Amino acid sequence: MSSSPKLDETLRKAILTAPEVVLDDKDVMHALIAANEKSMGGNIIDLRGVAMERLEARLDRLEDTHRSVIAAAYENLSGTNQIHRAILRMLDPLEFETFLRDLDGEVAAILRVEAVRLVLESAQGPDDSVRRLGGVLAVEKPGFIDDYVTQGRGGPARQVTLRQINGAPEAIYGETADWIRSEACLKLDLGEGRLPGLLLMGSEDPHQFTPQLGTDLLAFFGGVFERSMRHWLS
């Protein structure tokens, strides 16, 4: 077969030496297909080109899905590791006061939140031991927890509630209240005969805790925490 190449000789040799380079270049292939269609005239449709475009579009969608699945899996693994590290840290203290102080210290740092608060209900009100803890523990009247989590709508609170918040209560968050833009509310069952508790995680990131996020890991963390509290309170 004879040919009269119009390509630069160096470029022509490069293509003949490694034609797969051309096949792997999407932009070059599009240009070649467009040139082929143009040479056939406007009244002819190249079905192979149409099929290729559809396959490429499908491949792009599959690649996007693949990237999204990998990103979600990585984020879930990272979150799982965070929860596990926080639980291990939470189980270290040998004294109850150290256990509570660590919540707003090492545990909060591991979970990457600005504040962790424990709310307990009591008809007697706070005592001196509560004041010594520097704000990590708040004692409120019976019924406060369900009212706080449901925002006064009535009914029992869910085990885990994630929400954005503007104007966090200073009585609970103290000096960090102005910074809190989202929070996780973990309702605690402290055992038969005891009033419920509430573990709060406050973040300055308004997107860290939002209703559409999954709650499985936080529910697990809350379950471990409430069992630890039962141990300390027994």
Pairing of strands 197-203, 160-164: unpaired
What tokens appear for 16 in the block? 């003949």
Domain assignments of the chain as residue spans, ordered by start: 88-233
Say what the pLDDT of residue 133 is. 62
pTM (2 d.p.) = 0.67
Would residue 152 be called left, alpha or beta, if left means φ above 0 and alpha means ψ between -120 and 50 degrees? Answer: left
Nearest to 103 by CA among 189, 195, 198, 210: 198
CB 209 within 8 A of CB 162: yes
Could you tell me which CATH number the domain at 88-233 has? 3.30.450.40
User: In a 10 Å sphere around its CB, with 0-12 CB exposed, 13-18 middle and 19+ buried, how is residue 57 labelled?
Assistant: exposed
CB 157 within 8 A of CB 187: yes
Say what the pLDDT of residue 131 is. 55
The predicted model gives 212-221 an average pLDDT of 89
pLDDT over threshold 50, residue 1: no
Rounded Cα distance between 35 and 141, Å, is 79
Condensed to tens digits (0 to 9), the pLDDT of residues 97-152 reads 889 889 989 999 999 999 999 999 987 765 555 555 667 888 889 999 999 999 88
Burial code of 84-93, b = ≥16 C-beta within 10 A, e = fewer?
eebbebbeeb
